[in-house]
Amino acid sequence: MHQSRLVGKVLAAAFLAVPVIAQAQLGPYQFHALTPCRLVDTRTVNATQGTTGSPFNRGATSFRIQGQCGVPVNAKAATVNATIVAPQTAGHVTMWPVGVSEPTVSTLNFVANEPALANGAIVPLGPDGGGVDDLNVRLSMQNFNPNVGTPNTHFVLDVTGY
């Protein structure tokens, strides 16, 4: 076989053996999977998470995501699994980054008396402010009667990547 043809075949074979990087991986954002890690569980007492073992309060609460569970402080978004446990009334959960307006869409909708309901989401994170919370979560309870007492609704938030 002619030497130049042999060199060409060797180069072609070597080129085919090199893995091709997907175009999406060349962009400014790359996904990093994490072993699922519990960030928030209102059923337990945890001073770091700011949970007291009490049901999740209606209204907006902020949680620190960056720098927790392997999510670096410069992460732009996180993949999470949000779970509502034992809601007494129907409602929804909305998540959005600190520093921006609350969106009009919800992350998780639930009805009364479900044992637990979860939904995965990709949520943008607010800028790292040196320990400032970077994710807002609002629990909105529908048909809530304040004369009946506080609903026994717990919230669990697991991170699965960034």
Tell me the pLDDT tens digit for each residue of 106-159.
898 888 888 999 999 998 888 755 555 677 776 665 544 444 455 568 889 999
Q: Which two tokens stand for residue 54?
A: 């009490």
Per-residue confidence (pLDDT) for residue 118, from 0 to 100: 95
pLDDT of residue 92: 85
Query: Three-state DSSP class for 126?
Result: coil
Q: How far is CA 151 from the centre of its chain?
A: 24
Per-residue pLDDT tens digits for 50-61: 555 666 666 778
pLDDT level of residue 38 (50, 70, 90 thresholds):
very high
